[in-house]
Structure 1
Amino acid sequence: MTEKRWIIRRYDLAAAERLAAALDCDPVIAALLVLRGVSDPEEAHRVLHPSLDQLHDPQLMLGMDRAVARLMSAIARGERILIYGDYDVDGTTGTALLRRTFQMLGAQTHYYIPHRLSEGYGINREALERACAEGYKLLLSVDCGISSHEPLSWASAQGMEAIVTDHHLPDLGRGVPPAVAVLNPNQPGCPYPDKNLTGVGVAFKLAHALLRANGRASEEMIRGFLKLVAIGTVADVAPLVGENRAIVALGLRDLPMAKNRGLRALMEVAGCYAGRGIKAYDIGFRIGPRINAAGRMDAARMVVQLFESEDDSQARKLAAVLDERNRERQRLQTELLKEALAEVEGSLHGSHVVVVAREGWHRGVIGLVASKLVELTGRPAIVISLEGEIGHGSARSIEEYHLHEGLSACAELLERFGGHRHAAGLQIRRESIAELRRRLNEHAASLLRPEDLTPALRIDMELPLGAVTFDLARKLETLEPFGTGWRRPIFLTRGLEVDGEPRAFGNEHLKFCVRDADGARCTALWWRAALSGRRTPRAGEIIELVYSVELNLWQGLEELRLVVEDCRAMGE
């Protein structure tokens, strides 16, 4: 709906030349490293060659000694441990990882994952009341708990101790909740060197420390856990830099050899084939969404059941259910997005924030729709599902607008809200929505410039089409894994002729061929072209193309293709 600003990034050419000489690598690869802030040869070598020695010692995390001592004591005494995990990929993979760790150590555990719609995020008191009634004395949270002061205070008063593992930012005004130990690299005073760990990453650190204390932390065993950690890290959209980069790279390397029946079944239904390798993209767009859909569609416990399955037939059945849940999620998301876009259409001019609401929108997908609205409109977006007089909203923002500050300026209109700069959740009464829309637009208008409402497409460099070869594509793969904080390289080529008539497929995608004046020719795929707001290129038209480069393996044949980010006619 909104055209993008094309920004060609600048880099230090001399630094790139020095790095190319030091690494004896392609100048394009060296330039891409410099553009990503890597100009030191030693650092570049670590980026290009991830290894286990790039993982930090778990003992560096504040509270680890206390957590390990309490858990080892519980194991020795035969205490039952309740693992309380979040319902998203990060929480469910972390729960499965710790369940496996405790099984290896002979511990008695049970797990609890809250219902997304009826219980919401975080530790809730009702669940703790049931746990206390069942005799649990030790609670271990995964990917939640850092803000659960009231329920954990209540549990402490009942004699239940807690160990919190989380990665979300604590409330600096209240500090950490009451617990035997809090493991969170983002808590005040924690010296852990990498603050970007996910919830499953923190759970992995605890598992590593427990296995080490038990004398079982072999290199093979530690590597074995990284497959799950990689899935949770990519799916949670964590920055793929520092330790996360090593975790994901090593986990991806081992995923094709996975022995876990549930994981193998999940990769099979997701269309991930070992023969062509598995990349971060496969986690982000194939494996992760099927796990996340379970939490969105109220079947999060099934993820842990899948990873604990000891029967191939059962694993395939569970994976098939997750696959169907994801299809259902896709259908709901597509339907809701169309309805939301219909409400937005015609009202964007002069607006700075999109606020849409409707009765009965599924709360499990409104966050995804809000993200898509931000992408399509270039504006912060709030999507609200109305249930009677109360609306449950999910909000996402652009880089230039601090969403939490905007909501704070309208706090008296909200029943409750929480979040951070780029994402938030809220509850609001139906009659307050129109005023929230007015006030937020007024607040954003005072802070945003007109150009802030046009999404920026940052291009790494211009290339002639003749430079886009199989050899270059393979060299680009040495920069994998790509994701948040380490994005896929984006190129621009001008003066391309559309060779033949573009062909639509899958309702919203487009495939066409391009060639340059020197005769170089390549296939281009434009995913979701129908939603881009751009006019379809015409046969014979001369265009400028922004794209990433992809090698696709299909039925034993390798194909080089351009994945379109944006396109416009020359001179537009």
Structure 2
Amino acid sequence: MRWTLKPKPEPSKIEALQKALQVDSVLATLLLQRGIETYDQAKVFFRPSLDDLHDPYLMKDMDKAVARIEQAMANNENILVYGDYDVDGTTSVALMSKYLETRYNLIHTYIPNRYDEGYGISYKGINFALENDFTLIIALDCGIKSVEKVAFAKEKGIDFIICDHHRPGDEIPNAAAVLDPKREDCNYPYKELCGCGVGFKLIQALAQKEGKTVDDLTQYLDLVATAIGADIVPITGENRVLAYFGLMVINTNPRSGIKAILNQVEKTEFTITDVVFIVAPRINAAGRMKHGNYAVTLLTEDDEGLAAQHASEINNYNEDRRETDKQVTEEALKQIEEQEEQKRFTTVVYHETWHKGVIGIVASRLTETYYRPTLVFTKSGDKLAASARSVKGFDIYNALGACSEHIEQFGGHKYAAGLTLKKENYEAFKQAFEDVVAKTIAKDLLTPEIQADVQIDLNHITPKFYRVLKQFAPFGPNNMAPVFMTENLTDTGYGKCVGADKTHLRLTATQSGANNIVCIGFNMGDKLDLISDKKPFRAVYSIDENEWQGNVSLQLKLKDIKE
């Protein structure tokens, strides 16, 4: 691990913010690092308000989208709500269909089958619309690159409204409306919405036209917060407001489907991290192991008894997914070990029997192990399909673009993408991808980095300090939980390995003139000798609370320790 310390803001700025907010220099530093420089910006950050959301009509084509939906309702057209099979897609479909059903009854949902249709808009989906007399398809979390498919649908008398957040290609589809804040010709002030977030802006615009406000739509925010957490979009600006109020809904009055998932774990208060690790994997498991329709059914079910049944079924899919991804990861690691006779800048592995539903998770695990841009391929019909994952700081989407002559199609983001190619192009692609990454990646990006926000002493860590830190939540990209670095620590002498297989490290750190504080380092049992015999060490960590037998105390969650 390489440790880096974020640049310290200008002393004059720290001093000015300290004065304005009546906080200490560490908190002022943390805020400035997050782009908060004034009292007013801090107020928006610490006291999110639904009034901070932008007018949805600032998004290009929003007026066209609203007009086309209203036209469909006036003419009794059948509307198909179409979305991808992942968390962002299924929550988007649940949100849009539930809202439209409050105003209109000719609504149907469609999720493509991961295995015979693949990602995004499919000809099979368009033919389904054709056979069942749908004249309007609202596509969510997909469609921005479906130029030919949208044109094909138009020829058949079917209009599309696209609500996407992925990067557009060279051509925008000829749809009735294309909502995507990443369009170059879209001046919407916030560019980082997830697919469900774009869907929410559309229902906000529809409601506004009826004289309603965003306060009338809060019941949908549990879905939006779930998508924001699962899709790993920045938790800044509008996303932060939506996640903040979405978490309030999740903790007070979630929809039956989400409540049924939360009832499966013993916990009373849920954070965005819980959404990412408890709710999202279960929703995803439906599309990975069976069909995304199961997730939509769960998320749109109002009856609590039925929702509990659906959640139980989906939990079983999640258990299957865990088994499968463990097996595929082991096979992939073995394959890498067998083929590594030279230093490589990429990991590219393939087996035709690997389950397509878990290759994204496996790619993430391989990236954690070898820390380099990674692709995991499997057979998909007569083609090969892959999930791509990157390391921090390297744009894998651009790297794939540079290899496009070998690829049939690809799409995604800076750190995660998907692609398909012909089997005969696999070896040529693999070499081209290795060459592109070797030429373009900064070599230090191949060593995992822990970035600490600020260096502090232990005496800085007080209950009052932590109370303010908690208000920095919800955490996520561009607003991660603050990470601190402290030097000249020693263990009080009782440090030990803990856990069933003794893989975790537990110790009590002390520093001259400061209170002792308990530290836990998960999977850091092999570092016990660094702190034994009261050897001085330094640590990077985040601060959290530990509850034990009714007592709550602060503890350090170690990320790494060094001599």
TM-score (normalizing by structure 2): 0.92
Equivalent residue, structure 1, for 2:233: 238
Q: Give the CA deviation at 1:517.
A: 4.0
2:249 corresponds in structure 1 to 254
**Whole-Å separation in 2 of the counterparts to 1:372 and 1:521:** 35
Residues 461-494 of structure 1: per-residue CA shift (max 9 Å, x gap): 1222232233222221011111011111001122
Q: Which amino acid aligns with 1:313?
A: G
Query: Structure 1 residues 52-61 or 350-359, which shifts more?
Result: 350-359
What corresponds to 2:87 in structure 1?
89
The AA in structure 2 aligned to 1:407 is: L
Separation of aligned partners in 2, 1:163 and 1:127: 15
Q: 2:275 aligns with which of 277, 283, 295?
A: 283
Stretches of structure 1 that go unaligned for 5 or more consecutive residues are none
Structure 1 distance, partners of 2:316, 2:528, is: 34
Q: Distance in 2 between matches of 1:298 and 1:133?
A: 24
Select between 82-91 and 318-327 the one with higher mean Cα deviation: 318-327
> Given residue 62 of structure 1, which amino acid in structure 2 is its aligned partner?
K
**Aligned partner (choices 175, 178, 203) of residue 199 of structure 2:** 203
- Are residues 508 and 36 of structure 1, via their aligned partners in 2, closer, same or farther at CA, if it must alter by over 3 Å? farther
**Does the 8 Å contact 1:502/1:538 carry over to 2?**
no
Against the structure 1 CA distance between its residues 535 and 417, is the aligned structure 2 distance closer, same or farther, given a 3 Å change threshold? farther
Distance 1:352 1:109, change over 3 A: same
Match of 1:422 in 2: 415
Mapped to 1, the partners of 2:271 and 2:24 lie a distance apart of 22
Shift of 1:233: 1.4
Residue 207 of structure 1: how far off its partner (Å): 0.9
Cα drift, residue 521 of structure 1: 2.6
Contact 1:9 1:458 in 2 (8 A): no
Shift, 1:236, TM fit = 1.0
Q: Give the Cα–Cα distance (whole angstroms) in 2 for the partners of residues 536 and 341 of structure 1.
A: 29
1:480 to 473, 477, 483: 473
AA aligned to 2:244 is A
TM-score by length of 1: 0.90
Q: Which residue of 2 is the match for residue 375 of structure 1?
A: 368
Choose the corresponding residue for 1:458, options 451, 458, 463.
451
What is the CA-CA distance between 1:42 and the residue it aligns to?
Answer: 1.3
Residue 268 and residue 555 in structure 1: after superposition, are their counterparts in 2 closer, same or farther (change >3 A)? farther
Which residue in 1 is equivalent to 2:310?
318
1:403 corresponds to: 396
Task: List gaps (5 residues or longer) in structure 2.
Answer: none
1:70 aligned to 2:64?
A: no
Identify if the C-alpha distance between structure 1 residues 336 and 495 changes in structure 2 by more than 3 Å, giving closer, same or farther: farther
Question: Which residue identity lines up with residue 456 of structure 1 in the other structure?
Answer: E
> 1:266 maps to which residue?
261
Preserved contact between residue 56 and residue 201 of structure 2 (Cα < 8 Å): yes
Please give the alpha-carbon distance, in whole angstroms, between the structure 2 residues aligned to 1:317 and 1:507.
35
Query: Which residue pairs with 1:124 in the alignment?
Result: 122
2:545, 2:463 → 1: CA distance? 8
Q: 1:17 to 1:332 in 2, by over 3 A?
A: farther
Report how many aligned residue pairs link the two structures: 559
Deviation at residue 419 of structure 1 after TM alignment:
4.0
Report Cα offsets for 1:45-66 as digits up to 9, x if no partner: 1111100110011121222222
1:560 corresponding residue in structure 2: 554
Local SS of the residue matching 1:269: coil
1:227 counterpart residue number: 222
**1:510 corresponds to 2:509:** no
| Structure 1 residue 556 displacement after superposition | 4.2
CA distance in 1, matches of 2:381, 2:226: 38
Instruction: Name the CA distance, whole Å, in 2 between partners of 1:212 and 1:389.
Output: 47
1:549 aligns with 2:543: yes
Question: Does the aligned pair in 2 maintain the 1:7–1:456 contact within 8 Å?
Answer: no
SS of residue matched to 2:263: helix
- What residue is the counterpart of 2:210 in the other structure? 214
The one of 3, 12, 15 equivalent to 2:13 is 15
Residue identity opposite 2:560 in structure 1: D
Deviation at 1:240, TM superposition (A): 0.8
Compute the RMSD of aligned alpha carbons: 2.6
1:302 aligned onto 2:302: no
Indicate whether 1:184 and 2:180 are aligned: yes
Structure 1 residues 29-78: Cα deviation after superposition (integer angstroms, max 9, x where no partner):
21101122221221121111100110011121222222222212322333
Q: Check conservation: 2:456, 2:484, Cα contact below 8 A.
A: yes
Contact 2:490-2:537 within 8 A present in 1 as well: yes
Q: Deviations over 1:148-171 (max 9, x none)?
A: 122221111111122111111211
CA contact (8 A) 1:48 1:478 kept: yes
CA contact (8 A) 1:508 1:527 kept: no
Shift of 1:197: 1.3
228-237 vs 419-428, which moves further: 419-428
Moved more, 359-368 or 331-340: 331-340
Tell me whether 150-159 or 434-443 shows the greater mean CA deviation: 434-443
- CA 1:398–1:47: 2 relative to 1, 3 Å: same
Question: How many angstroms does 1:339 deviate by?
Answer: 3.0
Residues 101-152 of structure 1, C-alpha deviations (whole Å, 9 max, x = no match): 1121133200000111221111111121122111111111111111112222
1:132-147 correspondence to structure 2 within 5 Å: 132-147=130-145
Paired with 1:288 and 1:555, the residues of 2 have a C-alpha distance of 30
Q: 1:267 to 1:427 in 2, by over 3 A?
A: same
Mean Cα displacement is larger for which, 13-22 or 217-226?
217-226
| Alpha-carbon distance change, 205 to 271 in structure 1, aligned in 2, over 3 angstroms | farther
8 Å CA contact 2:352–2:379 kept in 1: the answer is: yes
Contact 1:5 1:454 in 2 (8 A): no
C-alpha distance in structure 1 between counterparts of 2:108 and 2:549, whole Å: 44
1:352 matched to 2:345? The reply is yes
Look up the SS of the partner of 2:479 in the other structure: coil
**Alpha-carbon distance in 2 for matches of 1:555, 1:228:** 34
Mapped contact 1:496–1:514 kept (Cα < 8 A): no
Partners of 2:447 and 2:561 lie apart in 1 by 16
More displaced 10-residue stretch of structure 1: 44-53 or 455-464: 455-464
Give 1:43-82 correspondences, 5 Å limit: 43-82=41-80
In structure 2, the CA distance between the partners of 1:517 and 1:548, relative to structure 1 (3 Å rule), is: closer
Partner of 2:441: 448
Q: CA deviation at 1:270?
A: 4.4
Deviation, structure 1 residue 412: 4.2
Give the residue type in structure 2 aligned to 1:269.
Q
Tell me, what secondary structure is at the counterpart of 1:524? strand
Shift of residue 239 of structure 1?
0.8
Identity %: 34
> What CA distance in whole angstroms lies between the structure 2 residues aligned with 1:35 and 1:14?
14
Q: Distance in 2 between matches of 1:52 and 1:418?
A: 32
Report if the CA contact (8 A) 2:115-2:380 is conserved. Answer: no
**3-state DSSP class of the match of 2:351?**
strand
Alignment partners' CA distance in 1, 2:553 and 2:449: 29
Aligned equivalents of 1:153, 1:487: Cα separation in 2: 42
Q: Conserved in 2, the CA contact under 8 Å of 1:549 and 1:563?
A: yes
